[in-house]
Amino acid sequence: MREARHGWVPVGEAKIYYEVTGAGEPLVLLHGNGENLCYFDEQVPAFSQRYRVIAIDTRGHGRSTRGSGAFCFERFADDVAAVMDELDAEKAHLLGFSDGGNIALAFALRHPARLRSLILNGANLDPSGVKRAIQLPVTAGYYAARALGAVSKEARKKSEVLGLMVKYPHFKPSRLSAVHVPTLVIAGERDMIRPEHTELIARSIPGARLEIVPRADHFVAAKMPQIFNAIVLDFLHRLPTAQP
């Protein structure tokens, strides 16, 4: 794999960390809740053969600092736009996993002119999209961390991150009709996102392609990278060559 270059983009009081590998059309990778850009270690070598891969640590995750103010998907989407500005990426393909998919959705709605295509892996429109067996312990962890937040900085941070799953997002399906770029919706057969919810997302975006990976769970990109990468690259390779 080509060596990545990295840096931080100042956004208000926060610094957003990114790594860039390869050359070509920009392809932005957005990780999930409580993770960092290393989640895509199995994707970067494959994708950077043809694309300029920009992997980002979400605000308050990994090597990106929290800053002050709102901690929500809309703000994270604006952070992505700021990184793209820094890297002279006027338009990009966006691939978001889990909460990263929710950031990608927010980006599509807030910055539609900057999107070439959209890839949503395990995203959800609202907390009800997560299976109850997963959401219940997450909710319990959120309230426990919030209770300790008065005396523990780490607990406050944990409650804020878990709160992204417990309280957010809030995308109405009708809003997705405004997404007018080629879109791939991908999930595992055993995903923690309810299958009917994933299907709703795909139905709500005009012309979206839906791929359900057999025997895969939520973490299909990490656990079945060859299959995941092949699906994503097939989708991207079918797109018309972008004009500058």
Do 19 and 112 share a domain, yes or no?
A: yes
Do 233 and 157 share a domain, yes or no?
A: no
* pLDDT average, residue stretch 144-160: 92
Do 31 and 145 share a domain, yes or no?
A: no
Q: Which of 167, 194, 222 is the last residue of a domain?
A: 167
The predicted-structure confidence for 202-216, as pLDDT tens digits, reads as follows 999 999 999 999 999
Do 85 and 201 share a domain, yes or no?
A: yes
Close Cβ partners of 62 (under 8 Å, ≥ 6 residues apart): 17, 31, 35, 36, 37, 38
Domain assignment present for residue 243? The answer is no
Domain with 159, as residue range(s), is 127-167
Kindly indicate the confidence band of residue 217, based on its pLDDT and cuts at 50, 70 and 90: very high
- The structural domain count of the chain equals 2
Domain assignment present for residue 196? The answer is yes
Strand partners of residue 9:
16
**C-alpha dihedral over 210, 211, 215, 221, to 10 degrees?**
-120
Domain assignment present for residue 195? The answer is yes
Q: Which of 117, 148, 167 is the last residue of a domain?
A: 167
Do 204 and 217 share a domain, yes or no?
A: yes
Q: What is the pLDDT of residue 244?
A: 46
Domain assignment present for residue 242? The answer is no
Query: Is this structure's pTM higher than 0.75?
Result: yes
* pLDDT average, residue stretch 39-64: 98
Q: What is the pLDDT of residue 2?
A: 60
Q: What is the pLDDT of residue 242?
A: 59
Do 52 and 122 share a domain, yes or no?
A: yes
Which tokens hold the place of 7? 């840096």
User: Which residue shows structure tokens 């991150």?
Assistant: 161
User: Which residue shows structure tokens 């991207």?
Assistant: 236
The predicted-structure confidence for 23-37, as pLDDT tens digits, reads as follows 999 999 999 999 999
Give the C-alpha separation, 109 to 116, whole Å.
Answer: 13
Domain assignment present for residue 244? The answer is no
Do 135 and 100 share a domain, yes or no?
A: no
Do 81 and 195 share a domain, yes or no?
A: yes
Do 24 and 77 share a domain, yes or no?
A: yes
